[in-house]
Chains A and B, each alone.
Chain A
Amino acid sequence: MESLIHGVEGFMYPNEIELQWSILIVLYPYITGLVAGAFILASLERVFNVEEVKPTYRLALLTALAFLLVAPLPLQLHLGHPERAFEMFLTPHTTSAMAMFGFVYLWYLMVVLVVEIWLDYRKDIVLMARRSTGVTRQMYRAMALWSDNISKRSLQIDDKVGRFITIVGIPSAFLLHGYVGFIFGSVKANPWWSTTLMPVVFLFSAMVSGIALVMLVYMVASWRRGTPIDMRCLDTIARYLLYTFIIDFALEMLDLVHRIYEADESFKSLDFMVHTQLYVPHIVIQIVLGTILPIALLGLVQLVRLREGIRKGLYATAGLLTLIGIFAMRWNVVIGGQLFSKSFLGYTTYKLDFATREGLLPAIIFLILPFLILWVLVKLLPPWEREESAA
């Protein structure tokens, strides 16, 4: 602990020397961002009738669910008293954006994701219940809420209700991730965070990361199953990724230009921080490798006619760079916002341990866990068309 003092440059208020929010708090917006983004991709088909992306509809929903189930875990691990976390449900302080977490999370999980997935899969669940025996049969019957009715009319009703829920789900997804942006953006004490653009930037970068994730999962899953990738679907996803990226980049540049132009009391201190401590995570990883390069690769596909193999390679590269870049963006916001002193006279360092409660190891585990859950979900509720899996 003594070493923390040695990491201080200049002057920091004594209580600022130790960072408050660690890598776990970087993870949380990253994960909910992936959830929101995956859901928006799914809603493209359901609500906006972009039927090219239909092959990824169910996969996107399952991905969103897998990541949403993991989302509260880094928060719980970070709390000083995780056993008191339920207090947010008992006495939520309505002036605190953080207080709405419990309700927004539950709403989104239960109403939007679980019910929507249930409605979309209900016919298959009932069929699987009919086909299986023993414990598996009981499980599927329970999932169907012991209903055996998959008549045409019941499915039509399901479809209408499902469509309505997806429509409600879009602003819900915006709220689920937008409020996290507001948690940061509304802190007037911290000039690195305090900007009206924060929720919007968070949201668009979330959409970018979620779309990239589903695109990569689809590519990897098809490769593992040995099934051909629907290129019309993949090309459409990549196009939407590019459009969203351009908006995201424009917003981040707007924030940057505005800061440089107004050059308020915090500017010199923040500018110095970005050029020294945050140079690699911010300039190199987030901006160059994580934004400009993917946009260039995706843009290239739109401008030049390329073979399918090359397109796939470019999409995979762009997708991976995007995921890394958006993680870096969360890192730069959360950690970056705590590296400089509110006196604008000094800087501290972030010491990331490995196998401690808020170290790198739990962070890695939280990133791997959703994929394990997704694997289980895919086994339980196969998102592929029946004809394909029979072959």
Chain B
Amino acid sequence: MQKFLKDREHLVRMAGLFLAGLALFLIVRALFVPKGFGEYGHFRTGALADNAARPMAYAGRDACESCHPDVVEERKGSRHATVNCEACHGALAKHAEDPSRTKPVRPDGQKVCLVCHGQDVAKPTTFKQVNPKEHMGSGACNTCHKPHHPEIG
């Protein structure tokens, strides 16, 4: 052993430094790899919960219908029955949670309608669309069409 070490001592010291570094790395690694990493794949399992735990802005159709059965009744048989409430009324999760605290703003009687029904070549030809000037000048759509049951006649 002595014969081997003679003239190689400095190399052994260098090797020792490297081994110490490796040991330190392994210790740090054991301490700092996040808990639950690698359970379902190469990621921190807690990220699934993080993504699932975000707040919601939209309540969803079922929430609206549970408190507004009259609207449900009104929309029966109309093409608008398949259009969800928040498509026109905006995000209403806050309102659904506490209806008295947040009162939704009534959509404008023309602007909201034209977002979908304003004429454009790129819209499917089977979709009901109008040129507003030709159709009703500057009047509001809900003068003639009930938003919850827009069909006339």
Contacts and interface: CB of A to CB of B under 8 A. Distances in A.
Nearest to B42: A93
| Interface residues on chain B, size class | 10 to 19
Given A90-B29, A90-B33, A91-B37, A147 B18 contact: no
A145 B13 contact: yes
A129 to B, nearest CB: 12
B33 A157 contact: no
Interface string A68-103: 000000000000000000100111011000000000
Nearest to A92: B42
Contacts of A350: none
B14 interface: yes
Contacts of A154: 7-8, 10
A157 B37 contact: no
Contact of B10 (A86, A90, A91, A149): A149
A151 B14 contact: no
Q: Is the interface of A mostly helix, strand, loop or mixed?
A: helix
A147 B13 contact: yes
B85 to A, nearest CB: 28
Given A90-B32, A93-B42, A145 B14 contact: yes
A86 B18 CA distance: 19
Interface in B8-34: 8-11, 13-14, 17-18, 21, 25, 29, 32-34
Interface string B30-57: 0011100110001000000000000000
A334 interface: no
A260 interface: no
29 contacts: A86-B32, A89-B29, A90-B29, A90-B32, A90-B33, A91-B33, A91-B34, A91-B37, A94-B42, A110-B18, A110-B21, A115-B14, A122-B10, A144-B10, A145-B10, A145-B14, A145-B17, A147-B9, A147-B10, A149-B9, A149-B10, A151-B7, A153-B6, A153-B7, A154-B7, A154-B8, A157-B11, A158-B11, A161-B11
Contacts of B13: 145-147
A249 interface: no
Which 7 residue pairs spanning A and B have beta carbons closest together?
A147-B10, A154-B7, A145-B13, A153-B7, A90-B33, A93-B42, A145-B10
Contacts of A147: 9-10, 13
Interface of A: 86, 89-91, 93-94, 110-111, 115, 118, 122, 144-147, 149, 151, 153-154, 157-158, 161
A361 to B, nearest CB: 34
Interface of B: 6-11, 13-14, 17-18, 21, 25, 29, 32-34, 37-38, 42
Contacts of A161: 11
Contacts of A151: 7
Contacts of A110: 18, 21
Contacts of B8: 154, 157
Contacts of B10: 122, 144-145, 147, 149, 154
Nearest to A144: B10
Contacts of B29: 89-90
B42 A157 contact: no
B143 to A, nearest CB: 37
Contacts of B37: 91
A145 B9 CA distance: 10
Contact of B14 (A86, A91, A94, A118): A118
Given A90-B32, A147-B10, 18 more contacts: A89-B25, A89-B29, A90-B29, A91-B33, A91-B37, A91-B38, A110-B18, A110-B21, A111-B18, A118-B14, A147-B9, A147-B13, A149-B10, A151-B7, A153-B7, A154-B7, A154-B8, A157-B7
A158 B21 CA distance: 22
A4 B87 CA distance: 31
Contacts of A111: 18
A94 B33 CA distance: 16
Contacts of B11: 157-158, 161
Interface centre among A89, A94, A110, A145 (most CB of B within 10 A): A145
B67 to A, nearest CB: 37
B18 to A, nearest CB: 7
A118 B10 CA distance: 11
Contacts of B6: 153
Contacts of B42: 91, 93-94
A118 B42 CA distance: 39
A50 to B, nearest CB: 27
A90 B8 CA distance: 34
A39 B32 CA distance: 35
Contacts of B9: 147, 149
Contacts of B38: 91
A22 B44 CA distance: 29
A254 to B, nearest CB: 36
A111 B22 CA distance: 13
B14 to A, nearest CB: 6
